Amino acid sequence: MLTLDAEADPDTIREHARCAVAGQPESLRIKPLTGQERAKVLVFVKKQDSPETVVVQCDGALPPETKVKLSWGAEIRAASSIATDKD
């Protein structure tokens, strides 16, 4: 779960965010969670919903106790179409 400065465009998150998994040569795509999946996570962590909150999941199986790094690409845009300028 991430709290951003502005609402992010979910299509650009899918395209440019990745999970780098220790021991795996290829990164996994990230999918933004929506609907009931998103709501369940927010309730579990006791977080108020807001457009700036992004709930994401690595799109693939992760081995137990594996280190994962989030790569947030520079091409990810805010819903207002402004892109970040750094990875």
What's the pLDDT tens digit per position in 28-56?
A: 999 999 999 999 999 999 999 999 999 99
What is the structure's pLDDT at 83? 54
In a domain, 82, yes or no: no
In a domain, 56, yes or no: yes
In a domain, 28, yes or no: yes
**Domains in the chain: how many in total?**
1
In a domain, 44, yes or no: yes
In a domain, 59, yes or no: yes
In a domain, 65, yes or no: yes
SS3 (DSSP) at 17: strand
- Please tell me whether the overall predicted TM-score, pTM, comes out greater than 0.85 for this model: no
Domain that holds residue 26: 2-72
In a domain, 38, yes or no: yes
In a domain, 43, yes or no: yes
